[in-house]
Amino acid sequence: MGSAVERTDEHVREYLIYRGFTNTLKHLDNDIKADKEKGFRVDKIIDQLQQFVQSFDLAGLKEYWLYLDKRLFSRLEDVYRSTVNKLRISLYRYYIINTVQVSPRNLEKTQEFFQKQASELQGQAEWRDWFILPFISSPEQNSAFCQYFSRQWSDTFLVSLHNFLSVLFQCMHILDFDAEVQKMTCLMEENEQLRQLSYLTCGGKGQLCSNSFASGQPALCMLEDNNFFGLVSPFMCYLQTSEKKGELGEVEPPIESSSEPTDSSNSRSCGASQEEPPFIKLSQEEYGEHHSSIMHCRVDCSGRRVASLDVDGVIKVWSFNPIMQTKATIMSKSPLMSLEWATKPDRLLLLGSGVGTVRLYDTEAKKNLYEMNIDEAHPRILSLACSPSGSSFVCSAAAHSRSGSGESAPRLPITVSGQLLLWDTKTVKQQLQFSLEPEPVAINCTAFNHNGNLLVTGAADGVIRLFDMQRYESAMSWRAHDGEVYSVEFSYDENTVFSIGEDGKFIQWNIHRCGVKQSEQILPQDATGPFVLSGYSGYKQVQVPRGRLFTFDSEGQHVLTCSSSGGLIYRLASGESALERVLSLGGHKAPVVTVDWCSAVDCGTCLTASMDGKIKLSTLLAQKS
């Protein structure tokens, strides 16, 4: 943070010199000298506090700490207020100890401190024993105070304060040049590749195609990104579509090296079908605040915030429009297994733990509103789904898994006991428990239809159950997969449901005819899990699917799935070949384990989260046919 501020100051100073604003430059230098935040340099802030302590300037010390509290500490969540209070108490004690050590026989400054601070400190339990300190002949030998006179205590306090301020400035993201520099470097590299591609395509040396900017798509993207590099990705897509339309003559396009398999749709479009890709990838950004594998990543109903949960139990709430910014960080002592956004109001977040509790968290107030105890016999909260009306939510609770830990051998279908419960969001009370036939089983995934009248669930016994939420009973159920059902969603018209299971199949089911398949597709293992991340020296990390494995666009014509290097978008087609691959988002170095798709009118945002803790945010432009 300090280096970023210094670079900004230098840029501003160079600009003022270039423009000849000498008076403004003098005022800037004076303001920088008087800057209480010291350019967010932690070492200078510590030096300023020590200067107040060594000069016995109690008024200056209090004023400076109050400024830091209002300017910086007040932005923290409530859980960190106790840490700030402990640091303030230690700072005052550091001041008192300094007054005693400098003038052990003249305790005038020590008595002055207690006289001025008596009204503030006398009611606090932490200071109850300290008022006798001025009247003790040798306080450094007293058992209650001797530890504070040691060099170890003072060094520990200063290091703790230094570390706290360093982490605070790092998490505030006031100036984040590194991310912008990395993004600009990637865009410049992509731009250079496009230059080489255009030279090869046009057949001329150092010449660009005269009609390469004839389309309106690049202009639209330049307005979107507000810079020239916004033309990069659309320009490449335009060259590809121009080749398909025959606008560039008979020149064959260059062969691109790719690890992705050849798409049947692309090979056809180069011939007589003359198809355009349904989406153009405008940009791809990275959210890298997590340091372990992601379990869940969900966009709220308004499309303004994202909540992501990793295997360490850290939840990040962040926004991506207009800039990517962390809004809240939630640390949990107990393991977390599921999350879901509430629908009304959309600022609330449901968090399911591994110890039988569900928390309702306010992301704006940054505090827990309620904590519900579900069932001690079924402590794992595997899935949460909030009804569209916002009045209730469904909770899936399961007992501890009894399956073995073998990774290479196939898992045996061991039935794990579970419950499916309906809770009232307003009263925070359980309304009912659904009947699970033929026996209580762990429900892995849940999803409501658009009005909340239907609920579809996928269970560990491979059965999909459809519930009538007006009668609160099961309408139908059928065996869908050999093994567990990992993910289930309603189709756009809600006449069918789609599911992905442990058997690696992506199946479309007719909900009007129980157990009747409309289509079936075998997906690769990197789309269905279990997901494997291999490293050096035989290191291997295996993760069972927990989050959403597929999601649809706003019109329900395309589906986004996981893969080993990024998200894959397929076109939903009728017949036996139900999936037609149209676009690979890419960008990941580790397997993608969960996806989400936030759709607007013409642009959509795809979220792909991987096992290395990285989340890619890809902005797409839908091409109208």
Alpha carbon distances (Å) from 71 to 64, 76, 168, 607: 10, 10, 12, 34
Number of domain units in the chain: 2
437-484 residue pLDDT tens: 888 899 999 999 999 999 999 999 999 999 999 999 999 999 999 999
pLDDT for res 262: 40
**Contact assessment for residue 332 and residue 352, using Cβ atoms and an 8 Å cutoff:** no
Q: Residues 6 or more apart from 518 whose CB is under 8 A from it?
A: 496, 508, 509, 510, 578
Question: Which CATH number characterizes residue 394's domain?
Answer: 2.130.10.10
Cα–Cα distance between 160 and 150 in angstroms, integer? 16
pLDDT for res 177: 56
Tell me, yes or no, whether 164 and 294 share the same domain: no
On whether the pTM is more than 0.85, the answer is no
Answer whether residue 493 is part of any domain. Answer: yes
Q: What would the 3-class secondary structure string for 87-116 be?
A: HHHHHHHHHHHHHHHHCCCCCHHHHHHHHH
> For 64-68, 337-341, 614-618, which range has the lowest pLDDT when averaged over its residues?
64-68
Q: Which two tokens stand for residue 505?
A: 């199949």
Cα–Cα distance between 351 and 358 in angstroms, integer? 5
pLDDT-derived band of residue 200, with 50, 70 and 90 as boundaries? low
Answer whether residue 222 is part of any domain. Answer: no
Average pLDDT of the segment spanning 384-403? 88
pLDDT for res 35: 66
Answer whether residue 298 is part of any domain. Answer: yes
Residue 24 has pLDDT above 70, yes or no: yes
Residue 407 has pLDDT above 80, yes or no: no
Average pLDDT of the segment spanning 303-318? 92
Residue 605 has pLDDT above 80, yes or no: yes
Tell me, yes or no, whether 165 and 285 share the same domain: no
Average pLDDT of the segment spanning 330-343? 90
Residue 244 has pLDDT above 70, yes or no: no
Q: Which two tokens stand for residue 576?
A: 């036996």
Residue 114 has pLDDT above 80, yes or no: yes
Other beta carbons less than 10 A from residue 428's beta carbon: 13
Average per-residue pLDDT in the chain? 80
pLDDT for res 258: 35
pLDDT-derived band of residue 422, with 50, 70 and 90 as boundaries? very high
Percent of the chain's residues with pLDDT above 70:
79
61-79 residue pLDDT tens: 888 888 888 877 877 777 7
Answer whether residue 323 is part of any domain. Answer: yes
149-197 residue pLDDT tens: 888 888 888 888 888 888 877 666 555 555 666 677 788 878 877 877 7
Tell me, yes or no, whether 166 and 314 share the same domain: no
Residue 274 has pLDDT above 60, yes or no: no
Higher-pLDDT residue of 576, 551: 551
Cα–Cα distance between 394 and 55 in angstroms, integer? 62
Tell me, yes or no, whether 453 and 310 share the same domain: yes
Average pLDDT of the segment spanning 528-545? 84
pLDDT for res 611: 94
Q: Could you give the 3-state DSSP secondary structure of residue 618? A: strand
Tell me, yes or no, whether 362 and 506 share the same domain: yes
Q: Which residue in this structure is represented by tokens 């909340």?
A: 452
pLDDT for res 219: 38
Answer whether residue 249 is part of any domain. Answer: no
Answer whether residue 455 is part of any domain. Answer: yes
Amino acid at 181: V
**Which among 126, 152, 171 is the end of a domain?**
171
**Contact assessment for residue 284 and residue 587, using Cβ atoms and an 8 Å cutoff:** yes
Cα–Cα distance between 507 and 482 in angstroms, integer? 12
Higher-pLDDT residue of 166, 283: 283
Q: Are strands 325-331 and 336-341 parallel, antiparallel or unpaired?
A: unpaired
**Contact assessment for residue 279 and residue 621, using Cβ atoms and an 8 Å cutoff:** yes
Amino acid at 396: S
Amino acid at 373: N
Other beta carbons less than 10 A from residue 267's beta carbon: 10
Residue 207 has pLDDT above 80, yes or no: no
Residue 390 has pLDDT above 50, yes or no: yes
Residue 312 has pLDDT above 50, yes or no: yes
Amino acid at 156: T
Answer whether residue 304 is part of any domain. Answer: yes
Q: Could you give the 3-state DSSP secondary structure of residue 54? A: helix
Q: Which residue in this structure is represented by tokens 């403004």?
A: 24
Answer whether residue 196 is part of any domain. Answer: no
**Contact assessment for residue 610 and residue 310, using Cβ atoms and an 8 Å cutoff:** no
Residue 136 DSSP code: -
**Which among 146, 171, 196 is the end of a domain?**
171
Tell me, yes or no, whether 566 and 428 share the same domain: yes
**Which among 155, 171, 187 is the end of a domain?**
171
Tell me, yes or no, whether 153 and 295 share the same domain: no
Cα–Cα distance between 361 and 353 in angstroms, integer? 13
Residue 537 has pLDDT above 70, yes or no: no
Residue 223 DSSP code: H
Average pLDDT of the segment spanning 339-364? 91
Tell me, yes or no, whether 358 and 492 share the same domain: yes
Full residue range of the structural domain in which residue 89 is found: 36-171
The residue among 327, 348, 349, 326 whose CA lies nearest residue 338 is 349
Residue 6 has pLDDT above 50, yes or no: yes
Residue 555 has pLDDT above 90, yes or no: no
Higher-pLDDT residue of 65, 397: 397
Percent of the chain's residues with pLDDT above 90:
36
